[in-house]
């Protein structure tokens, strides 16, 4: 029953550029997430390539890595019961045009590539992604 989890959230460059990080954080808090850690950083292209390496065979990989490293991002560890799935639900579909009403990508996303937020897609990947940004 008790399944307290942590997941990694990223406010992507398009949203930080529009100064939406506090508004997005408010959505997390209102939906019962606890923000355990957060930092605003800018990563290099090679760090983005490492972070998104599961997508290296995809046609959008190069653009995706250029984009994630193009400006400041806010990375957060979110904690809640079933945090991984709950965050994916709150984020909505990858393409903002297909995202449900009330989801973060529907509210803030501009396009499939500028979709404002990242969230881990599994418990295992959440651990890997949290370590990637917060281990050191």
- Applying the rule CB under 5 A, the residues between 68 and 127 that interact with Mg ion are 121
Counting Cβ atoms within 10 Å, is residue 85 exposed (0-12), middle (13-18) or buried (19+)? middle
- Applying the rule CB under 6 A, the residues between 8 and 67 that interact with ligand CDP are 55, 60, 64
Give, as one character, the DSSP assignment of residue 70: S
Residue 52 beta carbon to Mg ion: minimum distance, rounded to whole angstroms: 8
Candidate residues 47, 110, 112, 127; the one interacting with ligand CDP per rule CB under 6 A:
112
Q: Tell how strand 117-119 and strand 4-11 pair up.
A: antiparallel
Q: Tell how strand 4-11 and strand 73-81 pair up.
A: antiparallel
Residue among 26 and 94 whose Cβ is closer to Mg ion:
94
By the criterion CB under 6 A, which residues form the site for ligand CDP? 55, 60, 64, 94, 112-113, 115, 118, 121
């Amino acid at each position: 029953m008790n399944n307290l989890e942590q997941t990694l959230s990223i406010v992507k460059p398009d949203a930080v550029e529009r100064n939406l990080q506090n508004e997005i954080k408010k959505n997390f808090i209102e939906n019962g997430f606890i923000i355990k850690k957060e930092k605003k950083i800018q990563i290099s292209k090679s760090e983005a390539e490492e972070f998104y390496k599961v997508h290296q065979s995809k046609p959008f990989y190069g653009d995706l890595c250029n984009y994630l490293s193009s400006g400041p991002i806010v990375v957060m560890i979110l904690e809640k019961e079933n945090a991984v799935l709950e965050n994916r639900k709150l984020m909505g579909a990858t393409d903002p045009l297909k995202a449900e009403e009330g989801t973060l990508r529907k509210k803030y996303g501009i396009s499939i590539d500028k979709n404002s937020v990242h969230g881990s897609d599994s418990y295992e990947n959440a651990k890997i992604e949290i370590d990637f940004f917060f281990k050191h």
